[in-house]
Amino acid sequence: MSKKVYPDAVTALAGLLRDDMVIMAGGFGLCGIPENLIDGIRLSGVKGLTFISNNAGVDGFGLGVLLETRQVRKMISSYVGENKLFAQQYLSGELELEFNPQGTLAERCRAGGAGIPAFFTKTGVGTLVAEGKETRVFNGETYVMETGLVADLSIVKAHCGDTAGNLVYRKTARNFNPMMATAGKVTVAEVEQLVEPGTIDPDHIHTPGIFVQRIIKGENYEKRIEQRTTRKKI
């Protein structure tokens, strides 16, 4: 078995966690989030963490469990509207928040993984997003400079992976997971299906194994719906 494969989340995270570190967590809403690895971080007891994640989970699930245990000091996020505890901690000054437009956050992660220290975008110009940041004019249009993001650790979730660390995401889980997998100094992945190298068609691989240092087969996944919306009965 590959040296990248670990039996569970706690073992896979051993030696990687410390107080006050920066962690990227993949996923979009509650889709494609690394549930097992998040729980492994909770069990470790590390604190003062900065999380780079599109959202902060919901109360009692996803990154929400780390808010409950007061292990998170700061969130660099795009959307946090589904977590009441997050709002309480932020409004009380207990939790720091750096808001990003969603596309800007995705590009900051991609840029960090590609070795690009900064880039210019029109998104946010003239708003609070641009305060304190450098702006430049290109072809008569004003752009704001955003910096690339790199994390001490990236935790991602894929539908399928092989023991060499090659990953395939499924549908919406492909949001944020691929770019975050490249932007961590160390990347740990959890997968629903773990297969042998050569099983996955090379053309179907989204994250090459060179970006993944450790991998586990996750278990007990919950297919939760973040916000259920249905039509009224006629």
pLDDT in tens, 169-198: 999 999 999 999 999 999 999 999 999 999
* Pairwise pLDDT comparison (101 vs 82), residue with the higher score: 101
Report pTM: 0.92
Distances (CA, A) of 112 to 39, 73, 179, 233: 26, 22, 9, 48
Q: What is the mean pLDDT of residues 156-169?
A: 97
What's the pLDDT score for residue 30?
87
- Supply angle C-alpha 29, 33, 38, rounded to 5: 120
What's the pLDDT score for residue 81?
75
Report DSSP state, residue 232: P
* Pairwise pLDDT comparison (156 vs 226), residue with the higher score: 156
* Pairwise pLDDT comparison (144 vs 224), residue with the higher score: 144
pLDDT surpasses 70 at 217: yes
* Strand ranges (E), the chain: 22-25, 49-52, 72-77, 96-99, 118-121, 135-138, 141-147, 153-162, 167-168, 187-195, 214-217
Q: What is the mean pLDDT of residues 31-48?
A: 96
